[in-house]
Structure 1
Amino acid sequence: HEPKRVIFLGPNHFQNVDYFPTLKIPENDPNIVLSFHFYIPHLVTHYKASWSNIRDYNGPVQYPGIPIAPDDTVGYDLKLRSILEHYMHEYMDRNYLEKRLQPALVKAKATNRQLYCGEFGCLPNVSEAARNTWFKDLISLLEENNIAWSIWDFKSSGFGVFRAEDWSFAIPREILFLE
């Protein structure tokens, strides 16, 4: 069975799309699928995540839009402000996500490989409107580009498709199924 086994291969740094240009792929193996994770913009997807380097930022976060205003970082230490600097100057929306997907799309086209987004999600710590718009934008881009996908994770109080406490949809059905 080994000649037919499918292997999912992704770039370094937690399968970050930005590292696709340096990913080396065996040439004569048709059973390789290119895999990546997508948590961009990180401030939106990981807002207030306890394990994140941005966990101490409690100001407002926008999506779509420029995620934070410079004034929103006043009073935070210099290290956190320098991390947040990136989120103060660029408008982030569906077009931004599409631009950030480009390294994966370019590599897939150049190597004639299928893409799989094996992890993506957004914690429910941003506004419901921002979270739902982010999911709608990303899922529609994945579908338009024929990229197979899987949300992290199935059922939880965090990234889950379903809420842990009652099995209700945490992400609206019409977004998940593009109804």
Structure 2
Amino acid sequence: MQRRNFIKTTSLATVAIGMAGVPAFSQKNLPVKNKLPRWKGFNLLDYFSPNMNGGARPKTTEEYFKWMSDWGFDFVRLPMAYPRFLNFDQSRDITPEDILNINEKEVDNVEALVDAANKNGLHVSLNLHRAPGFCVNAGFNEPYNLWEDKEAQEAFYFHWGMWAKRFTSKTPDQISFDLVNEPCTREDMNNQFSKRGAIPGQLYREVAQKALKTIRSHNPAHRVIADGNNVGSDVIPELFDLDIGQSCRGYYPHYISHYRAPWVFENPDDAPKPVWPGEIDGKQFSRKNLEEFYAPWIDAVKSGVGVHCGECGCWQETPHDVFLAWFGDVLDVLTENGIGYALWEFNGTFGLLNSGRKDVNYEDWFGHKLDRKMLNLLMRY
């Protein structure tokens, strides 16, 4: 038996046995017609770090794509930090002059990754996780502000024009362009814990519309997506009349998804213990709260706006049984309304492989530690 058929046969059999009567790949009734496909898959962090060494993250291999495809997934999102594909001296702070100096070799490497995903039947969403002048994360000194400086905005359009031109021949089934990760304001861009807020809607519209025009100038069929406002949580009504999809998040409530995460809690030891359903930090949480949280996104779908959940999941410290109970409800609400998802991430602390959770009985999967219970849950949706 060929290895790929072995992977497919054994993984499907395991799911069918392990789901306690729930058929593998069970199809939900989808009363809502979503303008975007109900893509299902993962974020890949090869270009997530602005440092050229990639932050020592494991590189995606074509074998990963084969496994995803064999398990029934059809989507990967590639959140990129723009400094990764520039030529500049990383021993000093980046300057506006550096930001237009493209490293063609790194762009070639991104293209090869996209081609490998497409070869295995996976749609690729290119995302600027760090755009010129903005990132939801601190830790890198930006020379200007995307939401305040025209020079930063012109650099933003330049970058998207470069990517759109590079992928001119790709179809909407093969690639889409996710403009900027989790837009928000922040009082201090270098302080991870400073107060955040929503970008003024008309400003977001202006930037998104010009980026859309730039991208479509290279291929009128290119599909463009905008992340929700206010760190990805809020629908953007100002974009409803534009041909732009929108991307929500599957992290609510953060007490569960980011339990003890040091980039969320200044003192992780003070993070309240998560349960699902039940009371956390004096508040009651249940599936009903999820339905209320996603109601504006579901209304957007009903209004003809394409919606996808570009990131979701739990960091490794959340107890596994709590994670699975909560995440099952998240995926159920999304799926019932025709909204697909992308787990953050495939291989790593949020992931299906090698998450480092202390309360999981991992299955050895060709040298990787596979969270089979998580895979079973994902394959139901």
Provide TM-score, normalisation by structure 1. 0.75
The one-letter amino acid of 1:139's match is L
Name the counterpart of 1:44.
256
1:92-130 deviation per Cα after TM superposition (whole angstroms, max 9, x unaligned): 1222111111111122322x0221000011123222210
> Do the aligned partners of 1:162 and 1:170 also contact (CA within 8 Å) in 2?
no
Name the counterpart of 2:229.
12
Name the counterpart of 1:57.
270
> Do the aligned partners of 2:313 and 2:327 also contact (CA within 8 Å) in 1?
yes
Name the counterpart of 2:50.
none
> Do the aligned partners of 2:344 and 2:350 also contact (CA within 8 Å) in 1?
yes
Deviation of residue 167 (structure 1)?
Answer: 3.4
Name the counterpart of 1:70.
none
Structure 1 residues not aligned, in runs of 5+ = 68-86
Deviation of residue 51 (structure 1)?
Answer: 0.8
Deviation of residue 38 (structure 1)?
Answer: 2.3
What SS class does the counterpart of residue 330 from structure 2 fall into?
helix
**Residues in 2 aligned to 1:56 and 1:23: alpha-carbon distance in whole angstroms:** 38
Deviation of residue 23 (structure 1)?
Answer: 3.6
Deviation of residue 5 (structure 1)?
Answer: 0.6
Name the counterpart of 1:117.
309
Name the counterpart of 2:354.
163
- Decide which structure has the larger Cα Rg and report it: 2
The structure whose residues are more often strand, as a share, is 2
Deviation of residue 26 (structure 1)?
Answer: 5.7
Deviation of residue 150 (structure 1)?
Answer: 0.4
**Residues in 2 aligned to 1:148 and 1:59: alpha-carbon distance in whole angstroms:** 30
**Residues in 1 aligned to 2:291 and 2:277: alpha-carbon distance in whole angstroms:** 13
> Do the aligned partners of 1:162 and 1:169 also contact (CA within 8 Å) in 2?
yes
What SS class does the counterpart of residue 4 from structure 1 fall into?
coil
**Residues in 2 aligned to 1:59 and 1:7: alpha-carbon distance in whole angstroms:** 38
Matching residue within 130, 136, 140 for 2:328:
136
Work out the percentage of aligned pairs sharing the same amino acid. 25
Q: How has the CA–CA distance of structure 1 residues 42 and 26 changed in structure 2, closer, same or farther, with 3 Å as cutoff?
A: closer
What SS class does the counterpart of residue 3 from structure 1 fall into?
coil
**Residues in 2 aligned to 1:108 and 1:59: alpha-carbon distance in whole angstroms:** 34
1:123-151 deviation per Cα after TM superposition (whole angstroms, max 9, x unaligned): 23222210110111111111111101101
Name the counterpart of 1:177.
379
**Residues in 2 aligned to 1:145 and 1:28: alpha-carbon distance in whole angstroms:** 22
The one-letter amino acid of 1:94's match is R
> Do the aligned partners of 1:121 and 1:135 also contact (CA within 8 Å) in 2?
yes
**Residues in 2 aligned to 1:102 and 1:121: alpha-carbon distance in whole angstroms:** 19
The one-letter amino acid of 1:96's match is N
The one-letter amino acid of 2:327's match is F
Deviation of residue 170 (structure 1)?
Answer: 6.2
**Residues in 2 aligned to 1:148 and 1:108: alpha-carbon distance in whole angstroms:** 12
**Residues in 2 aligned to 1:103 and 1:26: alpha-carbon distance in whole angstroms:** 12
What SS class does the counterpart of residue 343 from structure 2 fall into?
coil
> Do the aligned partners of 1:160 and 1:170 also contact (CA within 8 Å) in 2?
no
The one-letter amino acid of 1:27's match is D
> Do the aligned partners of 1:119 and 1:150 also contact (CA within 8 Å) in 2?
yes
Query: Does 1:105 find its partner at 2:298?
Result: yes
Name the counterpart of 2:200.
none
**RMSD of equivalent CA atoms:** 2.2
Query: Does 1:148 find its partner at 2:340?
Result: yes
> Do the aligned partners of 1:34 and 1:108 also contact (CA within 8 Å) in 2?
no
Structure 2 residues not aligned, in runs of 5+ = 1-217, 357-367
Name the counterpart of 1:88.
282
**Residues in 2 aligned to 1:105 and 1:59: alpha-carbon distance in whole angstroms:** 30
Q: Could you list the structure 1 runs, at least 4 aligned residues long, displaced by more than 3 angstroms after superposition.
A: none
Deviation of residue 173 (structure 1)?
Answer: 2.5
Q: How has the CA–CA distance of structure 1 residues 126 and 33 changed in structure 2, closer, same or farther, with 3 Å as cutoff?
A: same
Provide TM-score, normalisation by structure 2. 0.37
